[in-house]
Structure 1
Amino acid sequence: MIISIIGGTDGLGKWFASFLKNRGYDVLVSGRDVIKGKEVEKELGVTYTNNNIDAAEKGDIVIISVPINVTESVIKEVAPHVKKGSLLMDITSIKERPAKLMAEFSKTGVFVLPTHPMFGPETPSLNRQVVILTPTEKEKTNPFFEKIKEFLEIEGAKVIVVSPKEHDKIMGVVQGLTHFVYISLGSTLKDLGIDIKESRNFASPIYELMINIIARIIGQNPYLYADIQMHNPQIKTIHETFIKNCENISEIVQNKDRDSFVENMKNSARHFGNETKRGLNCSNKAVYAISKETEKLIKSVGKEIGLKHIYSENVHYGILKEVYADNIVLKQNEKEVLLNISNVSLMEDKELEEWKIKNLEKYFVDISVLFKKDVDLNIILELLTHKFEIEVIDTYYGDKIDENDLSATFRISSYEKEDLKKLEETFNKIIENIGGKLRY
């Protein structure tokens, strides 16, 4: 099966090209920039063409992944060339208009499935990501629909099925209103001349969360966000309603009408119902998670830790030297690495150990010790495992040692070769203090 991705040399199109190639599919990508296309071809092991029609004709599945403002023109260009029995998809965040155009310009026998992945190209996998499918009632009976839905669910995605019209209505709020509010807040802070970094020193946890969300949104591709605002027909009504409420609340405040302000909040709370409690719990959880991880990092100074990058999932392993402001200083061998706290998460002990086993070479030293014959080695081992990664690899009694003695050989392991000498010295002191004698 050949999967053609129109606009597969950048952004989410490139993400799907990599993802599907890694799942064993033959992937063909198209894009206007030949230099970039050749680089992606080499990087991902896919096939590149700068001819959209050629890509559409060859694909058993054709995915349109281009900016919203050119989606309609690209659909009109490629849809007539998708072969009968194939699947045509788009992955833009507006669905009603693209759905109509794909159905209108495709040949009879082409299955159309407008799709909206609710994540960006920095996402490491489909696991726990939301993907919205917007087929017509007729399209739901096509075998392709169940295959795509099943594939996504097996990969761990949460799949939501709605009509294109319902999608755009909901997205007008979920994306349109959300982006509009936070972009407006960013502009307001700019016009007020607020030093964002300085303001964090005075921040409540909720302000800190708000600043992080604003920064996350305004740091994204502004052209994409402009298109989301300007191409959804529901946005005009949503903006008008929001601005009307802002003006109303502002007027209440200017008039010092405390009763009206309280009534406004109460009415909104009644509309939210039980979601107010859920929102409080979720926001508390977010605040707690941020402060708790920072606290754990501070307590881990001087200890061995693993930090996983939240986007790339690359692991940084070493001794935590210092935590200050938003930064972590990690000592890796003889180098010091500076990391931003917001970009990494602290790995749990079990997860770190699994990573070390898979990625690091382990070194060891074997030490033989004489004990009295009736010693319980399990008790000795239980004592030592609190201090070392240790196991008994051999026991012996007989020739060459006293008949009342038992020889036990311990193996001490470490991922740091230079630590073995110090570990051996510590082990020897403990053994001498519990009645054991080293064998040389």
Structure 2
Amino acid sequence: MIISIIGGTDGLGKWFARYLKGKGFDVIVTGRDVEKGKKVERELGVKFINDNIEAAKKADIVIIAVPINVTEKVIKEVAPHVRDGCLLMDITSIKEIPTKAMEEYANKNVVIIPTHPMFGPSAPSLFGQVIILTPLERHKNTEWFKKVYNFLKKEGAKIIITTPEKHDRIMAVVQGLTHFSFISLAYTLKELNVDIKESRKYSSPVYELMLSIIARIIGQNPYLYADIQMFNKRIGEIHKTFINCCLELSNVVKNKDREKFVKIMKEAAKHFGSEAKRGVYYSDKAIFALTNELNRLVDMIGEEVAIRNIDSNNVHFGILKGVDGDYLILDKNGKLEKFNVLRVEVFDGEKLKELKKRYLKRIYFDVSVLLKDNVDENTILDLLKSKFDIEIIDVYKGENIEKGWKSVTFRIFGYKKDELREKEKEFIKIIKNIGGKLRY
């Protein structure tokens, strides 16, 4: 099956190109920048075509993944060339405009499933992610709809099926109001000339969370966020209500009307109902998670750890020397390096062992010992595994072995010669303490 992603060289389009290629599909991507397209072709193992119409003609599934402001134009260009019996989708954040365009310009025998993935390109997979499907009734009973639904379900996505109109009405709040309010907060802090770094020194957990959410939003593609505000025709009434509420609350504070302020808060809490308590639990969990993570890191100081950068996936090994504000200090063979706490995962214990085996070159030494014939060498091995990366490679009885004894050859792994020499001394000491002896 061939999937063409129109606009698949960047953002969520590129994310789906990588993901679907990894699931065994043949993927074609298009994009305006030929150099970038060729780079993505090499990086992902997909095919790049600098022609939207040609890509649409070749595909069983065509996915429109271009910016919102050109989505309607691209659909008008591409949709008439999607073959009868094939599937046309889009993954933009609004649904009424692209749905109308696809229905108008695509052939009648093309199945149309407008789609809104509620996540960004940093998501690790579809597992646990919300995907909204807004097909018209005539497309819901098709084989294509069943295939898409079953694929998403198998991948662990949370699927919501609704109408384009209801989607845009809810998204005007879920995305529109959320983005508008937090961007307004960021703009306010900028106009007040607040030193963000300095303010963190005085921050409560709630302020810290607020700053993190603001930073997350304003750090995204501003053109995408502008389009979400400007192309959802239901946003205007949301803005009007929000601004009126802000003005009313401001006047209540200005007039020192304490009872009115309390009434507004109580009425809002009543409207939230049980969700108010859930929100407290949810934010508590986020706050506690950050605190517990820092406490865990402090407890690990002086220990060997693995640090994985969540942006690059690069893994580093060394001794954790300390935690300095937002940074970890790692001793990598005498060289100190800093890593941002918020952009890494830190592992010790069994996960550390697993990562070392995966990323580092192991070296080893073999040592043969004599054990009493009635000793179970596998029991000894299980005990030694708590201290060593070890296996048995040979058990021998016979010529040159004293009667009542057997020779057992162990292989002990490590990553540095000095480390292995120390392990050898420790191993021999343990063997002698349990009544064994070196063979040579």
Q: What's the counterpart of residue 160 of structure 1?
A: 160
Partner of 1:89: 89
Note the aligned Cα RMSD (angstroms): 2.7
Which residue does the alignment assign to 2:66? 66
Kindly indicate whether the alpha-carbon contact (under 8 Å) linking 2:372 and 2:406 is maintained by their aligned counterparts in 1. Answer: yes
Identify the residue that residue 343 of structure 1 maps to in structure 2: 343
Q: Distance in 1 between matches of 2:405 and 2:5?
A: 73
Q: Which amino acid aligns with 2:272?
A: F
Give the conservation status (yes or no) of the 8 Å contact 1:124–1:312.
no
Deviation, 1:115, is 0.6
Q: Does 1:172 align with 2:153?
A: no
Give, as a single letter, the amino acid of the residue that structure 2 aligns with 1:44: L
Amino acid at match of 1:292: N
**SS of aligned partner of 2:62:** strand
What one-letter code is carried by the residue in structure 1 that aligns with 2:184? S
For the pair 1:181 / 2:178, whether they are aligned, the reply is no
- Is the 1:303–1:319 Cα contact (8 Å) retained in structure 2? yes
What are the superposed Cα offsets for residues 24-73 of structure 1, whole Å, 9 maximum, x if unpaired? 32222222222222322333332223222222222221111111111111
2: distance between equivalents of 1:261 and 1:86? 57
In 2 relative to 1, CA 388–250 (structure 1 residues): closer, same or farther, beyond 3 Å? same
Query: Does the residue aligned with 1:27 lie in a helix, a strand or coil?
Result: strand
Return the letter of the residue paired with 1:354: E
Question: Which string of whole-angstrom CA distances, capped at 9 and with x for unpartnered residues, describes residues 239-277 of structure 1?
Answer: 111112212222222222222222211111111111122
Q: Which moved more, 1:46-55 or 1:216-225?
A: 46-55
Structure 1's 35 and 408: CA in aligned 2 closer, same or farther, altered over 3 A?
A: closer
Shift of 1:341: 0.8
1:39 corresponds in structure 2 to: 39
Distance 1:373 1:5, change over 3 A: closer
> What secondary structure, in the 3-state scheme, does the structure 2 residue paired with 1:240 have?
helix
Give 1:52-201 correspondences, 5 Å limit.
52-201=52-201
Q: Which residue of 2 aligns with 1:356?
A: 356
* Aligned partners of 1:123 and 1:311 also within 8 Å: no
CA distance in 2, matches of 1:397, 1:30: 67
Query: Comparing 330-339 with 150-159, which one deviates more in the overlay?
Result: 330-339
The answer (yes or no) to whether the contact 1:118–1:130 under 8 Å persists in 2 is yes
Aligned residue pairs, count: 440
**Equivalent-residue separation in structure 1 for 2:36 and 2:374 (angstroms):** 73
Which digits, 9 at most, give the CA deviation of each residue in 1:304-347, with x for residues without a partner? 22233334544333332332111122334565443211111223
CA contact under 8 A between 1:370 and 1:437: conserved in structure 2? yes
Helix, strand or coil at the partner of 1:69:
helix
- Identical residues among aligned pairs (%): 57
Provide the rounded CA distance (Å) in 2 between the counterparts of 1:304 and 1:284: 31
Cα distance change, pair 385–52 in 1 and its aligned pair in 2 (3 A): closer
Aligned to 1:27: 27
Structure-1 separation of matches of 2:400 and 2:37: 73
- Secondary structure of the 1:15 match is helix
Q: For residues 50 and 376 of structure 2, what CA distance do their matches in structure 1 show?
A: 74
Corresponding position of 1:220: 220
C-alpha contact (below 8 Å) 1:116/1:133 kept by paired residues: yes
Q: 1:404 to 1:47 in 2, by over 3 A?
A: closer
| CA 1:44–1:397: 2 relative to 1, 3 Å | closer
SS in 1 for 2:412: strand
Range with bigger deviation, 357-366 or 19-28: 357-366
Superposed CA offset, 1:387-424 (max 9, x none): 43445666678876776777665543324443111222
Deviation of 1:435 after TM superposition, in Å, equals: 6.3
Relative distance call for 1:426 and 1:142 in structure 2 (3 A) is same
The amino acid that maps onto 2:340 is N
- Equivalent residue for 2:18? 18
C-alpha deviation, 1:147, in angstroms: 0.4
Shift of 1:353: 3.4
2:316 counterpart of 1:316: yes
Matching residue's letter, 1:220: Q
With 250-259 and 267-276 compared, the bigger mean Cα shift is at 250-259
2:212 and 2:55 mapped to 1: Cα distance?
40
1:301 aligns to 2:324 (yes or no): no
Q: Tell me which moved more, 348-357 or 245-254.
A: 348-357
Q: How far apart, in 2, do the equivalents of 1:27 and 1:366 lie? A: 49
- Which residue type is aligned with residue 113 of structure 1? I
C-alpha separation in 1, matches of 2:428 and 2:233? 76
Alignment partners' CA distance in 2, 1:169 and 1:198: 39
Is 2:304–2:348's contact at 8 Å kept on the other side of the alignment?
Answer: no
SS at match of 1:126: coil
Residue segments in structure 1 that go unaligned for 5+ positions in a row: none
Tell me what 2:49 maps to: 49
Residue matched to 1:270: 270
Alpha-carbon separation, structure 2, partners of 1:52 and 1:393: 59
User: In structure 2, do the counterparts of structure 1 residues 390 and 27 end up closer, same or farther at CA, with 3 Å as the change threshold?
Assistant: closer
Q: Does the 8 Å contact 2:17/2:27 carry over to 1?
A: yes
CA distance in 2, matches of 1:394, 1:118: 56
Correspondences of 1:276-291 after superposition (within 5 Å): 276-291=276-291
> Are the aligned partners of 1:308 and 1:316 in contact in 2 as well (CA < 8 Å)?
yes
